[in-house]
Structures are given as structure tokens and as C-alpha cells.
Amino acid sequence: MLSGARGFTRKLLFFPRYLTLPLMSHSRVSAFSAGPNLKRVGTHNGSFHCDEALGCFMIRLTDKFRDAQIVRTRDQQVLESLDAVLDVGGVYDPSRDRYDHHQKGFGEVFGHGFTTKLSSAGLVYKHFGMEIIAKELRLDQGHPDVHRLFLMVYKSFMEAVDAIDNGINQYDTDQPPRYVNNTNLSSRVGKLNLDWMDPDQSSEKENEAFERAMNLTGRGSKHLSIKDLLNLASKPILQNVRFHVKSWLPARSIVVECLEARKDIDPSGEIMVLNRFCPWKLHLFELEEEMKIDPPIKYVLYQSFVFCLEGPQDDRSKHWRVQAVAVSPDKFESRKPLPSQWRGLRDDELSTVAGIPGCVFVHMSGFIGGNQSYEGALAMAKDALKL
């Protein structure tokens, strides 16, 4: 049955390349598409993850959104004008093709005995997976084999994407893992984000990286030549070495400097501010032990660039993030999550509840929040220490 199913395979093999183009003048809203007069599917710009890359790939395989234009933005007015929105917007409403999972109160699961909370990819799969599988098998969606594969693909592939994106540990144990695995699909997608050392952080280059992520999550390596497979097998070790030389070592120096200055930020010594964004998490755990830091760091503040919708074409506004440090490198739980009463709130509502102006958001799990200013982010961290 499966060996004769070639429709979906052909679609993957001839998956079209996209064009990168500005959606509107003097904006940092970006779009790419295979052609004009197509439906438009939105997701957020900035750093991307496996779930929205995979979700965008899958939804473009459906009849309703075949080869749709992908629009990457956080502007609410633009998002409201689109035909579908994934992983942004704060709304889950399949009747309007809205598939976000970050809003307060969201708890959608796949069903059929599965209890893992869905990511945007899981939501797309829940509503369109049967159609995608039926096309692969060239069978009607009501055929029992379609339903069997629908459940098996979720169990063997999709659920891990949902769990990782939602910060759900694979095991209920306090024991550390026997080894580190950074070769899973979510890790591979994460590595496609722009390197913090790269001077070109433009939205055009970011969209090119997102396109590669979509293709990676959707196409995989099934149709690669022997030469390409050999390159795929050999490059990760070389990339790993080069990453540690060009990115890991410079980042360590930055974290050391910021740790030494932590008590200048707050007398508690539990808040660290990065004077330049860099990959800090693994360094922090190692350096805390090496430098005998006690109490440990609870929150890390850093700048996050957000594309502006007004002003010069290359203008960016610098928002600040306050991120709760995990209990260990291999765990999703935070040492001290941001207060529960803040979680899932945004903008004015969050500012009112927190009593801090300029608040942007706090994630449902409390592991990260944002503010328009450094002063606001620092106030969030200081107040969170007391709550």
C-alpha cells in the first residue's frame, strides 16, 4: 500500500522555491511565495522553531492552502488580514484557521488517548493530517488505513515536536540524561537560525533560513542523492567544531563578564544582564559551578530585536526579554518561573496586573517575558524575585 503511494512523494520532491519580497513599503513585514494571487498564511518573524516551520510546510500541502504565500510578522493588523495564522496572534479557532498555542487557557490535545499539549504544528496536523495522509496513500479520508497512519504518524513523529515546543520533559525523573542529544529535528531546525555573530541579521536572510527550516521539516533526506547523504553525515561534526570555535568560546567570555557584574544589577546577585546577546545557557551552568556562584542566577535579561512597522526600512526596535533560568541544562522547568498571575497576559493587560509599564508578554509556562524597555524588564525580574 505505502510503496505505491507516490502523490505526496512527488509533491515533496518538487516542492517549489519561494521568492523573498517586501509585503508593504517601509515595513519589516516579510513574505515569500511561489506565485501571485495565492492565499496568505502568517507566522511570526524573529527566531523560529520546528513547530511553525513544520506547520507552514504542512498547511501548504492542503487543497485549501496549496502553495500559499508565507507572511512572517507580529503586526496584529496584518495577521488579522491573512487567511490563516500559525504560532502567533493568541487565537486558536479552526473555523477561522487560527492556530496559536501560546494564549492563556490553551490546553488543546490531539485526543485518541494522547495528552500532550499541541504546538502550532500539532494543531495543523490535527485538522489537516488526514487529508495529507489520504493524498499520500491515494485513498479516501474515510479509509481505515488513513486513520491508522494518522494516529501512528502523530505517535512516532508529531508528538515529540509538540512536547519539545511546549517544554514537556520526556521522562518523569530527576536524574540527568546519560548523554546529550542535539541531533533531533527540533535541534536541527534551531541551528538554522541566524548566528549571533553574523553581521547580517536582516529579515531577508532570516526568511532564507526559515525556508530551509520548512524544507528540512517537510522533505527530510528521503530524496537526497548518495553524495548529498554523505555530505549530510559529514558536515554536522565539522559544523559543530566551527560553532564552538567561532561562537561558543566568544559567548563564554561575555557570560563571565556579565556574571561578574551581576551584583551591580541587583544586590541579590540573582539577575544577570547580557551586554550583548549570545548563547548563554550552557555557559551559565558551568560557570556558576566554576565561579561558586550562590545563590544561583534566577533571571537573565537581554535585548531582542523586533522589526518595526513604521520608519526607515531597516529600522528595528530593541525590546528586552527577561528569561527564567532552567533548573538544569536538560530540563524545561525553571528555577523560579515568572509569577503565575502574569502568565499568558500581554501588553496593557499585563502592565496593569504587574504594575509595570511597557510589558509585552509573559509565556504561559512563565519561562520568558518581554518589556519595551530595559528598565521595565529589570522591574519585572526584581518583582518576580519577591513574588
Model confidence over 76-94: pLDDT tens digits?
Answer: 999 999 999 999 999 999 9
Pairing of strands 84-86, 98-99: parallel
Residue 285 has pLDDT above 90, yes or no: yes
Higher pLDDT, 282 or 85: 85
- Identify which of 1-10, 20-29, 212-221, 284-293 has the greatest average pLDDT: 284-293
Residue 307 has pLDDT above 50, yes or no: no
Higher pLDDT, 249 or 260: 260
Pairing of strands 271-273, 299-307: parallel
> What's the full length of the chain, in residues?
387
Model confidence over 161-210: pLDDT tens digits?
Answer: 898 889 887 777 666 665 556 667 888 788 888 888 888 888 889 988 88
CA-closest candidate to residue 282, choices 321, 306, 249, 319? 249
Radius of gyration of the chain (CA): 22
pLDDT band for 11, please (50, 70, 90 cuts): very low
**Cis preceding linkage at 236, omega within 30:** no
Q: Is 353 exposed, middle or buried (0-12, 13-18, 19+ CB in 10 A)?
A: middle
**Residue 47: CB partners within 8 Å, gap ≥ 6?**
193
- Per-residue HEC secondary structure of the chain comes to CCCCCCHHHHHHHCCCCCEEEECCCCCCCEEEECCCCCCEEEECCCCCCHHHHHHHHHHCCCCCCCCCEEEECCCHHHHHCCCEEECCCCCEEHHHCEECCCCCCCCCEEECCEEEECCHHHHHHHHHHHHHHHHHHCCCCCCHHHHHHHHHHHHHHHHHHHHHHCCCCCCCCCCCCCCCCCCCHHHHHHCCCCCCCCCCCCHHHHHHHHHHHHHHHHHCCCCCCHHHHHHHHHHHHHHHHHHHHHHHHHHHHHHHHHHHCHHHHCCCCCEEECCCCCCCHHHHHHHHHHCCCCCCCCEEEEEEEEECCCCCCCCEEEEEEEEECECCCCCCCECCCCCCCCCCCEHHHHHHHHCCCCEEEECCCCCEEEECCHHHHHHHHHHHHHC
In angstroms, the CA 59 to CA 127 distance is: 10
Q: Which pLDDT score, from 0 to 100, does residue 20 have?
A: 32
Q: Which pLDDT score, from 0 to 100, does residue 274 have?
A: 95
Q: Which pLDDT score, from 0 to 100, does residue 2 have?
A: 36
Residue 309 has pLDDT above 50, yes or no: no
Residue 338 has pLDDT above 90, yes or no: yes
Q: Which pLDDT score, from 0 to 100, does residue 369 have?
A: 96
Q: What percent of the chain has pLDDT over 90?
A: 49
For range 241-261, the mean pLDDT: 84
Which residue in this structure is represented by grid cell 494518522?
150
Q: Which pLDDT score, from 0 to 100, does residue 17 have?
A: 31
For range 253-265, the mean pLDDT: 96
| Dihedral (Cα; 243, 244, 248, 250), 10-degree rounding | -100
Higher pLDDT, 214 or 298: 298
Q: Which pLDDT score, from 0 to 100, does residue 273 have?
A: 97
Please name the amino acid found at residue 278: C
Whole-model pTM: value is: 0.61
pLDDT band for 44, please (50, 70, 90 cuts): very high
